[in-house]
Amino acid sequence: MESTTFNRTKTTDFFYKLCYVVYFCGLPNFWLEELKLSKRFVRLYDKFTMINNSLICFLVLFELGSFFTQTNLEENQKSNLILYAISHPMLCIFRLMLSRLQDKVKLVMYNLTVGLKSVHNDPEVERQMLATTYMYLFALVSSCLLSMFMYAAEAILDVIRYDVTFTTIVTAYPDVQDKSDLANVVRALCFIIWWIFLSRICSVYSLVISLTTCLSHQYKNLQSYFISLNDIFEREDLSQAEKEEQYEIGFKIGIKLHSDTLRCTQQTQTVCRGVFSGQIIFNICLLVVLMAQMANSERTLVNLFAAVFTASAVLFSTGFYMWNAGDVTVEASHLGTAIYFSGWYNCRGQNSVRLRKLIVITMSQAQRPVVLKGLGYIDLSYQSYITIVKSSYSVFSVLF
């Protein structure tokens, strides 16, 4: 999308800051305009990002190679190896999928932050949206960071108690028992790249969660718009005919806003489909591995915290996706009620007859379920989230 001008709101300010952070975490610029950075800096940083992305891909391959080179692993290290071998390639694909859809993400972001709010932007709905988004992002980032810190703390305690090497992730080289200087340098570099990798994943999650949260509140904003049409009939400076004319014009604008919102919902589904689907598979696989790890590893407080915080990060990320998608369905289902209370009953005569037909058609359209899906057929909702979590335990029970 080319650079354009638009009215600045708290929503656009938030998404600009989000895109700013996401860009520095290694994703493309998803904002509607160029970020306020010098061209020279952008050129150099883009090259730096490409180098880091290459190192991340190399790290993932380096981890997979450890299946063939590491033969002296302890039980806990074997569990971590399987955990990372499953999760890291999938998470790396999330970033690639979202980066390839840069233009489509920009279009969705423009529609949600500017296009759909150009006619009506309820300040209270906007405040609720921002508060919910900040809460979700804080919980997600905190759980991811705590998980990483606990794995690092576990490795440090093993060094202190058992005089072993500082091993957080198992790679093809060095051997877990190799205490040479070169081996320690390689481990340190892998640990740093791992943190860079985490910043990419947090960015993907933050962007998708923010978009879906904004989408669910757009349906709230649309409800607010239709209810606000009733205020036309409370004006004393207009005749009844003028009120009815303004109401009809406003109602038709609301129909267009609803149509644009449904189109934006489909665009969001297109942009996030791969991440939604991958997250469902990722959630089930990771929870099964984590439960197996807790059942087979040494039961220390640090090990327990590491597994719990990792499970929390997985559950939070999946939950925020599915809860927000469930909110979209719920808020869209309330739109018909808002249309009913928009004020059509204040119209008289032939205008009332004509508008009632328009109201019925619009309400019937609003009553059609709006559902985001994962894997092509799984409805993303509160109930589906519970089912997925339960299925993870069922798979664990069958296998172990």
Read off the pLDDT of residues 6-55 as tens digits, 9 standing for 90 and up: 788 999 999 999 999 999 999 999 999 999 999 999 999 999 999 999 99
- This prediction has a pTM of 0.90
pLDDT digits (tens, 9 = 90+) for 362-399: 999 999 999 999 887 888 888 888 887 777 767 656 65
Asked if residue 4 is part of any domain, the answer here is no
Asked if residue 5 is part of any domain, the answer here is no
Q: Measured between alpha carbons, how far is residue 183 from residues 56, 117, 175, 187 in Å?
A: 19, 55, 8, 6
CA-CA distance, 228 to 393, in Å (whole number)? Answer: 47
- Percentage of the chain modeled with pLDDT above 90: 57
In this prediction, residues 136-153 reach a mean pLDDT of 85
Whole-number pLDDT of residue 351: 82
Domain that residue 369 falls in: 11-399
Asked if residue 346 is part of any domain, the answer here is yes
Asked if residue 343 is part of any domain, the answer here is yes
Asked if residue 3 is part of any domain, the answer here is no
Asked if residue 1 is part of any domain, the answer here is no
Cα diameter, the chain:
91
The tally of domains found in the chain comes to 1
Asked if residue 202 is part of any domain, the answer here is yes
Tokens standing for residue 96: 């690639």
Candidates 273, 282, 287, 228; CA nearest to 375 is: 273
Task: Give the model's confidence band at 3: pLDDT under 50 very low, under 70 low, under 90 confident, else very high.
Answer: very low
pLDDT at position 232 over 90: yes
Report how far apart the first and last C-alpha atoms of the chain are (Å, whole number): 51
